[in-house]
Structure 1
Protein backbone atom coordinates (compact mmCIF):
# COMPACT_ATOMS: atom_id res chain seq x y z
CA UNK A 1 0.00 0.00 0.00
CA UNK A 2 1.40 3.41 -0.91
CA UNK A 3 0.79 6.43 1.19
CA UNK A 4 -0.32 9.65 -0.37
CA UNK A 5 0.82 12.96 1.06
CA UNK A 6 -0.73 16.26 0.23
CA UNK A 7 0.80 19.68 0.57
CA UNK A 8 -0.68 21.78 3.36
CA UNK A 9 -3.16 24.37 2.22
CA UNK A 10 -3.11 27.89 3.60
CA UNK A 11 -6.36 28.94 5.24
CA UNK A 12 -6.45 32.09 3.07
CA UNK A 13 -7.52 32.80 -0.48
CA UNK A 14 -4.62 33.23 -2.91
CA UNK A 15 -3.51 36.73 -3.87
CA UNK A 16 -1.65 39.79 -2.64
CA UNK A 17 -2.92 40.69 0.82
CA UNK A 18 -2.57 44.36 1.85
CA UNK A 19 -0.84 45.22 5.11
CA UNK A 20 -3.04 46.93 7.71
CA UNK A 21 -0.68 49.31 9.56
CA UNK A 22 -3.44 50.64 11.82
CA UNK A 23 -3.98 47.24 13.43
CA UNK A 24 -0.41 45.94 13.46
CA UNK A 25 2.59 46.33 15.74
CA UNK A 26 6.16 45.10 16.14
CA UNK A 27 7.58 45.01 19.64
CA UNK A 28 10.71 43.77 21.33
CA UNK A 29 12.02 42.82 24.75
CA UNK A 30 15.63 42.88 25.95
CA UNK A 31 17.15 42.29 29.38
CA UNK A 32 18.77 45.22 31.20
CA UNK A 33 21.55 44.33 33.67
CA UNK A 34 20.30 40.76 33.47
CA UNK A 35 17.59 41.45 36.06
CA UNK A 36 14.75 43.25 34.29
CA UNK A 37 13.24 43.54 30.83
CA UNK A 38 12.96 46.68 28.78
CA UNK A 39 10.12 46.64 26.29
CA UNK A 40 9.75 48.73 23.21
CA UNK A 41 8.23 48.91 19.80
CA UNK A 42 8.89 50.25 16.34
CA UNK A 43 6.20 52.62 15.17
CA UNK A 44 6.80 52.33 11.41
CA UNK A 45 6.39 48.94 9.79
CA UNK A 46 5.41 47.88 6.29
CA UNK A 47 4.76 44.32 5.18
CA UNK A 48 3.44 42.26 2.30
CA UNK A 49 1.79 38.86 2.24
CA UNK A 50 1.53 36.95 -1.02
CA UNK A 51 -0.62 33.85 -0.65
CA UNK A 52 -0.11 31.14 -3.24
CA UNK A 53 -1.93 27.86 -3.70
CA UNK A 54 0.50 26.23 -1.22
CA UNK A 55 2.82 27.53 1.51
CA UNK A 56 5.79 26.94 -0.82
CA UNK A 57 4.24 29.41 -3.27
CA UNK A 58 3.60 32.02 -0.56
CA UNK A 59 5.82 34.72 0.89
CA UNK A 60 6.08 37.39 3.55
CA UNK A 61 8.26 40.50 3.47
CA UNK A 62 8.53 43.26 6.04
CA UNK A 63 10.51 46.45 6.57
CA UNK A 64 10.88 48.23 9.93
CA UNK A 65 12.15 51.81 10.18
CA UNK A 66 14.69 51.56 13.01
CA UNK A 67 14.50 55.29 13.78
CA UNK A 68 10.89 54.71 14.87
CA UNK A 69 12.04 52.91 18.04
CA UNK A 70 9.87 53.78 21.04
CA UNK A 71 10.62 52.50 24.55
CA UNK A 72 8.53 55.10 26.31
CA UNK A 73 11.63 57.11 27.28
CA UNK A 74 12.80 59.82 24.85
CA UNK A 75 16.37 59.96 26.22
CA UNK A 76 16.78 56.18 26.00
CA UNK A 77 15.28 56.17 22.48
CA UNK A 78 17.80 58.82 21.35
CA UNK A 79 20.62 56.65 22.74
CA UNK A 80 19.26 53.52 21.03
CA UNK A 81 19.26 55.39 17.69
CA UNK A 82 22.86 56.63 18.22
CA UNK A 83 25.98 55.23 16.56
CA UNK A 84 26.97 52.99 19.50
CA UNK A 85 23.70 51.04 19.35
CA UNK A 86 21.40 50.83 16.30
CA UNK A 87 23.23 53.56 14.39
CA UNK A 88 20.16 54.45 12.35
CA UNK A 89 22.23 56.75 10.11
CA UNK A 90 24.10 53.64 8.85
CA UNK A 91 21.36 51.05 9.49
CA UNK A 92 18.03 52.77 8.77
CA UNK A 93 15.95 49.62 8.35
CA UNK A 94 15.48 46.05 9.42
CA UNK A 95 14.06 43.83 6.67
CA UNK A 96 12.67 40.32 6.59
CA UNK A 97 12.13 38.03 3.60
CA UNK A 98 10.58 34.63 4.10
CA UNK A 99 12.26 31.50 2.80
CA UNK A 100 9.83 28.89 4.16
CA UNK A 101 6.26 28.80 5.50
CA UNK A 102 4.88 25.62 7.00
CA UNK A 103 2.25 24.47 9.43
CA UNK A 104 -1.45 23.82 9.73
CA UNK A 105 -4.46 25.11 11.62
CA UNK A 106 -3.51 27.84 14.08
CA UNK A 107 0.21 26.98 14.40
CA UNK A 108 2.71 27.89 11.70
CA UNK A 109 6.43 28.45 11.31
CA UNK A 110 7.84 31.31 9.26
CA UNK A 111 11.53 31.09 8.41
CA UNK A 112 13.47 33.72 6.55
CA UNK A 113 16.36 36.11 6.34
CA UNK A 114 16.50 39.12 8.67
CA UNK A 115 18.76 41.98 7.58
CA UNK A 116 19.93 44.79 9.84
CA UNK A 117 22.32 47.14 8.06
CA UNK A 118 24.60 44.97 5.93
CA UNK A 119 24.23 41.80 8.03
CA UNK A 120 21.72 39.10 7.06
CA UNK A 121 21.03 36.07 9.23
CA UNK A 122 18.37 33.36 9.23
CA UNK A 123 15.58 33.67 11.78
CA UNK A 124 12.51 31.59 12.54
CA UNK A 125 9.22 32.85 13.94
CA UNK A 126 6.53 30.79 15.61
CA UNK A 127 3.28 32.06 14.12
CA UNK A 128 -0.19 31.80 15.58
CA UNK A 129 -2.89 32.27 12.98
CA UNK A 130 -5.68 34.29 14.59
CA UNK A 131 -8.22 33.62 11.89
CA UNK A 132 -10.12 35.40 9.16
CA UNK A 133 -13.06 37.73 9.70
CA UNK A 134 -15.16 40.13 7.68
CA UNK A 135 -14.98 43.70 8.96
CA UNK A 136 -18.39 45.03 10.02
CA UNK A 137 -17.21 48.51 8.98
CA UNK A 138 -16.60 47.97 5.28
CA UNK A 139 -17.03 44.25 4.58
CA UNK A 140 -13.32 43.72 3.86
CA UNK A 141 -11.77 40.40 4.85
CA UNK A 142 -9.00 40.57 7.47
CA UNK A 143 -6.55 37.89 8.62
CA UNK A 144 -4.59 38.19 11.87
CA UNK A 145 -1.28 36.71 12.95
CA UNK A 146 0.95 36.79 16.02
CA UNK A 147 4.62 35.91 15.50
CA UNK A 148 7.43 35.53 18.01
CA UNK A 149 11.13 34.94 17.52
CA UNK A 150 14.55 35.78 18.92
CA UNK A 151 17.78 37.20 17.57
CA UNK A 152 21.23 37.59 19.10
CA UNK A 153 22.49 41.18 19.03
CA UNK A 154 26.12 40.27 18.42
CA UNK A 155 25.24 38.38 15.22
CA UNK A 156 24.15 41.70 13.71
CA UNK A 157 27.08 43.76 14.99
CA UNK A 158 24.94 45.29 17.75
CA UNK A 159 27.25 44.27 20.56
CA UNK A 160 27.34 47.51 22.57
CA UNK A 161 27.53 47.11 26.35
CA UNK A 162 27.55 43.36 26.97
CA UNK A 163 26.46 42.83 30.56
CA UNK A 164 24.45 46.04 30.49
CA UNK A 165 22.11 44.83 27.75
CA UNK A 166 21.15 41.24 27.14
CA UNK A 167 22.39 39.31 24.13
CA UNK A 168 18.94 38.00 23.15
CA UNK A 169 16.26 40.29 21.74
CA UNK A 170 12.78 38.81 21.63
CA UNK A 171 10.65 40.08 18.73
CA UNK A 172 6.84 40.05 18.86
CA UNK A 173 4.62 40.91 15.93
CA UNK A 174 0.86 41.33 15.85
CA UNK A 175 -0.20 41.94 12.27
CA UNK A 176 -3.29 42.09 10.15
CA UNK A 177 -3.62 41.82 6.40
CA UNK A 178 -6.60 42.62 4.19
CA UNK A 179 -7.65 40.23 1.43
CA UNK A 180 -7.39 41.27 -2.18
CA UNK A 181 -10.67 42.53 -3.65
CA UNK A 182 -12.87 39.78 -5.04
CA UNK A 183 -12.97 39.66 -8.81
Structure 2
Protein backbone atom coordinates (compact mmCIF):
# COMPACT_ATOMS: atom_id res chain seq x y z
CA UNK A 1 0.00 0.00 0.00
CA UNK A 2 1.43 3.33 -1.03
CA UNK A 3 0.92 5.99 1.59
CA UNK A 4 3.24 8.76 0.43
CA UNK A 5 1.14 11.83 -0.20
CA UNK A 6 0.74 13.37 -3.61
CA UNK A 7 -0.50 16.88 -4.10
CA UNK A 8 -3.27 16.25 -6.62
CA UNK A 9 -5.86 13.64 -7.45
CA UNK A 10 -6.28 12.28 -10.99
CA UNK A 11 -9.84 13.68 -10.99
CA UNK A 12 -11.50 16.89 -12.12
CA UNK A 13 -11.89 19.38 -9.29
CA UNK A 14 -15.42 19.91 -7.98
CA UNK A 15 -18.18 17.96 -6.28
CA UNK A 16 -18.66 14.51 -7.78
CA UNK A 17 -22.20 13.12 -7.60
CA UNK A 18 -22.74 9.80 -5.84
CA UNK A 19 -24.00 6.97 -8.07
CA UNK A 20 -26.21 4.83 -5.79
CA UNK A 21 -27.06 2.38 -8.57
CA UNK A 22 -23.44 1.29 -8.92
CA UNK A 23 -22.37 1.47 -5.27
CA UNK A 24 -22.62 -0.82 -2.25
CA UNK A 25 -21.48 -1.11 1.36
CA UNK A 26 -21.04 -4.55 2.86
CA UNK A 27 -19.67 -6.08 6.02
CA UNK A 28 -18.55 -9.37 7.54
CA UNK A 29 -18.51 -10.45 11.17
CA UNK A 30 -17.55 -13.77 12.74
CA UNK A 31 -20.33 -15.94 14.14
CA UNK A 32 -19.41 -18.39 16.93
CA UNK A 33 -15.79 -17.86 15.92
CA UNK A 34 -16.11 -20.47 13.19
CA UNK A 35 -17.75 -18.76 10.22
CA UNK A 36 -18.65 -15.34 8.88
CA UNK A 37 -21.99 -13.65 8.46
CA UNK A 38 -22.03 -11.34 5.46
CA UNK A 39 -24.41 -8.50 4.93
CA UNK A 40 -24.92 -5.14 3.38
CA UNK A 41 -26.67 -1.86 3.96
CA UNK A 42 -29.08 -0.97 1.17
CA UNK A 43 -29.25 2.79 1.85
CA UNK A 44 -26.02 4.70 1.36
CA UNK A 45 -25.33 8.29 0.39
CA UNK A 46 -21.89 9.79 -0.17
CA UNK A 47 -20.13 12.89 -1.41
CA UNK A 48 -16.73 13.33 -3.02
CA UNK A 49 -15.30 16.84 -3.18
CA UNK A 50 -12.11 17.03 -5.21
CA UNK A 51 -10.00 20.08 -4.52
CA UNK A 52 -6.90 21.32 -6.27
CA UNK A 53 -4.85 19.35 -3.70
CA UNK A 54 -5.45 16.33 -1.47
CA UNK A 55 -5.69 18.63 1.56
CA UNK A 56 -8.63 20.38 -0.15
CA UNK A 57 -10.40 17.10 -1.00
CA UNK A 58 -12.88 15.20 1.16
CA UNK A 59 -15.26 12.27 1.33
CA UNK A 60 -18.39 11.97 3.44
CA UNK A 61 -20.87 9.10 3.65
CA UNK A 62 -24.00 8.21 5.57
CA UNK A 63 -25.53 4.74 5.93
CA UNK A 64 -29.09 4.14 7.17
CA UNK A 65 -28.57 1.34 9.71
CA UNK A 66 -32.19 0.20 9.38
CA UNK A 67 -31.33 -0.85 5.81
CA UNK A 68 -29.24 -3.80 7.02
CA UNK A 69 -29.69 -6.87 4.85
CA UNK A 70 -28.08 -10.20 5.73
CA UNK A 71 -30.48 -12.27 3.66
CA UNK A 72 -32.39 -13.37 6.77
CA UNK A 73 -35.35 -11.16 7.77
CA UNK A 74 -35.55 -12.52 11.34
CA UNK A 75 -31.83 -11.92 11.94
CA UNK A 76 -32.07 -8.43 10.42
CA UNK A 77 -34.97 -7.54 12.74
CA UNK A 78 -32.91 -8.72 15.74
CA UNK A 79 -29.85 -6.74 14.63
CA UNK A 80 -32.00 -3.58 14.37
CA UNK A 81 -33.33 -4.12 17.95
CA UNK A 82 -32.14 -2.32 21.07
CA UNK A 83 -29.67 -5.00 22.18
CA UNK A 84 -27.63 -4.74 18.95
CA UNK A 85 -27.66 -1.73 16.59
CA UNK A 86 -30.63 -0.03 18.28
CA UNK A 87 -31.64 1.83 15.12
CA UNK A 88 -34.29 3.76 17.07
CA UNK A 89 -31.46 5.49 18.98
CA UNK A 90 -28.69 5.12 16.38
CA UNK A 91 -30.32 5.49 12.96
CA UNK A 92 -27.16 6.20 10.98
CA UNK A 93 -23.51 5.44 10.60
CA UNK A 94 -21.57 8.35 9.13
CA UNK A 95 -18.04 8.93 7.91
CA UNK A 96 -16.03 12.10 7.34
CA UNK A 97 -12.53 11.92 5.88
CA UNK A 98 -9.66 13.74 7.57
CA UNK A 99 -6.75 12.70 5.32
CA UNK A 100 -6.25 11.22 1.85
CA UNK A 101 -2.88 9.86 0.72
CA UNK A 102 -1.47 7.70 -2.06
CA UNK A 103 -0.96 7.55 -5.77
CA UNK A 104 -1.84 5.41 -8.76
CA UNK A 105 -4.36 2.75 -7.82
CA UNK A 106 -3.54 2.49 -4.10
CA UNK A 107 -4.65 5.07 -1.56
CA UNK A 108 -5.49 5.40 2.10
CA UNK A 109 -8.33 7.40 3.56
CA UNK A 110 -8.36 8.30 7.22
CA UNK A 111 -11.40 9.71 8.90
CA UNK A 112 -13.96 9.68 11.66
CA UNK A 113 -16.69 7.02 11.78
CA UNK A 114 -19.74 7.81 13.91
CA UNK A 115 -22.36 5.34 15.08
CA UNK A 116 -24.94 6.98 17.33
CA UNK A 117 -23.08 9.37 19.61
CA UNK A 118 -19.71 7.57 19.42
CA UNK A 119 -17.03 8.69 16.98
CA UNK A 120 -13.79 6.79 16.40
CA UNK A 121 -10.99 7.07 13.84
CA UNK A 122 -10.83 4.56 11.00
CA UNK A 123 -8.44 4.01 8.12
CA UNK A 124 -9.60 2.57 4.82
CA UNK A 125 -7.33 1.02 2.22
CA UNK A 126 -8.63 2.44 -1.05
CA UNK A 127 -8.16 1.07 -4.53
CA UNK A 128 -8.80 3.62 -7.26
CA UNK A 129 -10.47 1.77 -10.12
CA UNK A 130 -10.01 4.59 -12.61
CA UNK A 131 -12.13 6.99 -14.61
CA UNK A 132 -14.19 6.13 -17.68
CA UNK A 133 -16.41 8.03 -20.09
CA UNK A 134 -19.86 6.45 -20.33
CA UNK A 135 -20.87 6.32 -24.01
CA UNK A 136 -24.64 6.42 -23.39
CA UNK A 137 -24.73 9.87 -21.85
CA UNK A 138 -21.17 11.22 -22.03
CA UNK A 139 -20.80 11.32 -18.26
CA UNK A 140 -17.47 10.54 -16.61
CA UNK A 141 -17.48 7.96 -13.76
CA UNK A 142 -14.77 7.22 -11.19
CA UNK A 143 -14.74 3.97 -9.20
CA UNK A 144 -13.28 3.15 -5.81
CA UNK A 145 -13.09 0.11 -3.55
CA UNK A 146 -12.39 0.69 0.15
CA UNK A 147 -11.85 -1.74 3.02
CA UNK A 148 -11.47 -1.12 6.73
CA UNK A 149 -12.45 -2.58 10.06
CA UNK A 150 -13.84 -1.52 13.39
CA UNK A 151 -14.02 -3.08 16.83
CA UNK A 152 -17.71 -3.08 17.71
CA UNK A 153 -17.14 -2.63 21.46
CA UNK A 154 -15.51 0.76 20.75
CA UNK A 155 -18.95 1.90 19.52
CA UNK A 156 -20.88 0.46 22.49
CA UNK A 157 -22.04 -2.57 20.47
CA UNK A 158 -21.27 -5.21 23.08
CA UNK A 159 -24.11 -7.73 22.66
CA UNK A 160 -23.12 -11.42 22.73
CA UNK A 161 -19.32 -11.50 22.99
CA UNK A 162 -18.24 -14.96 21.89
CA UNK A 163 -21.38 -15.38 19.83
CA UNK A 164 -20.47 -12.45 17.56
CA UNK A 165 -16.93 -11.44 16.70
CA UNK A 166 -15.40 -8.23 17.96
CA UNK A 167 -14.10 -7.13 14.54
CA UNK A 168 -16.46 -5.98 11.80
CA UNK A 169 -14.88 -5.68 8.36
CA UNK A 170 -16.36 -3.01 6.11
CA UNK A 171 -16.17 -3.12 2.32
CA UNK A 172 -17.31 -0.37 -0.04
CA UNK A 173 -17.60 -0.33 -3.82
CA UNK A 174 -18.57 3.14 -4.96
CA UNK A 175 -18.88 5.18 -8.11
CA UNK A 176 -19.06 8.93 -8.48
CA UNK A 177 -20.01 11.03 -11.51
CA UNK A 178 -17.86 14.01 -12.50
CA UNK A 179 -19.20 17.53 -12.16
CA UNK A 180 -20.54 19.00 -15.41
CA separation in 2, counterparts of 1:12 and 1:144?
11
Shift of 1:8: 2.8
Equivalent residue for 1:32? 31
Task: Tell which deviates more after alignment, 170-179 or 132-141.
Answer: 132-141
Larger radius of gyration: 1
CA distance in 1, matches of 2:169, 2:42: 17
The residue number in structure 2 matching 1:59 is 58
Runs of 4 or more, structure 1, over 6 Å off, are: none
Distance in 2, Cα, partners of 1:104 & 1:148: 17
Mapping for residues 8-19 of structure 1, pairs under 5 Å: 8-19=7-18
Q: Deviations over 1:24-59 (max 9, x none)?
A: 000000000000000000000000000001111100
Partner of 1:92 in structure 2? 91
Q: How does 1:1-183 map to 2 (within 5 A)?
A: 7-181=6-180
Segments of 5+ residues of structure 2 without an aligned counterpart are none
- Tell me, yes or no, if the aligned pair for 1:98 and 1:111 is still in contact at 8 Å: yes
Q: CA deviation at 1:9?
A: 1.7
3-state DSSP of counterpart to 1:22: helix
CA contact (8 A) 1:49 1:61 kept: yes
Unaligned runs of 5+ in 1: 1-5
8 A contact 1:8–1:103 mirrored in 2: no
